[in-house]
Amino acid sequence: MGKLLALPLLALLFLSGCAHVISEEARKQVDPSIAFSKLRGNSDTFIGRNVMLGGMVAGVKNTKDGGQLEIVQFQLDDVGFPIESSHSGGRFLATSPDFVDAMIYKPRRLVTIVGEVKGKKTLPLDEAEYTYPVITIKEIFAWKLSETEKAFPYPTPAPYYNYDPYYYGYDVPPYWYRPLGPVFRP
């Protein structure tokens, strides 16, 4: 009888660990039919529509009109985490009317964004002209990046040691995981 009661509890705990980083309200506004490859090729066609994108911050710029993030696009997994790979669809600009703190959204930080397509903008990138899709941020999630935020020390802490398939009691490098970071909703 106790095992029958434990099963729904375990299922609930498992499903709660798979929560999305972007609010349900923002995800409902997203048009899932807009792939980044389409957006990059024809940004003006999608003006006014909402997209969910993610990637790695390449640069931050603040002006009197607000902040701007230059982001190298990566595919997102089921919870909205940008999957770092050797393939990217290109870059895009994420803009905000507010100040964007470069200490939080520093280069190499992974972010997930829901925003409205505003068109395109051509700017110099190295020695070439590059056309960026421009997205106005409605919601952004910054994934933590520092070394102390990424690793469990070994041995694995007590609540997890029964569930770690790689722990054999040997002194091995840290166990990597991806913790959650701050959410920004203007």
Q: Return the pLDDT at 167.
A: 52
Q: In whole angstroms, give the CA distance from residue 38 to residue 30.
A: 15
Q: Read off the pLDDT of residues 126-153 as tens digits, 9 standing for 90 and up.
A: 999 999 999 999 999 999 865 444 554 4
Rounded (5°) CA angle 58-47-26 = 70
Tokens of 80: 């909205």
Q: Return the pLDDT at 5.
A: 47
Q: Return the pLDDT at 138.
A: 96
Contact call for residues 136 and 105 (beta carbons, < 8 A): no
* pTM beyond 0.85, yes or no: no
Contact call for residues 103 and 97 (beta carbons, < 8 A): no
Q: Return the pLDDT at 109.
A: 93
Displacement of CA 150 from its chain's centroid (Å): 15
Which positions of the chain have pLDDT values less than 50? 4-7, 9-16, 147-149, 152-156, 161, 171-173, 175
Rounded (5°) CA angle 34-88-81 = 75
Q: What is the DSSP letter of 153?
A: P
Kind and range of the H or E element at 12? Answer: helix 2-16
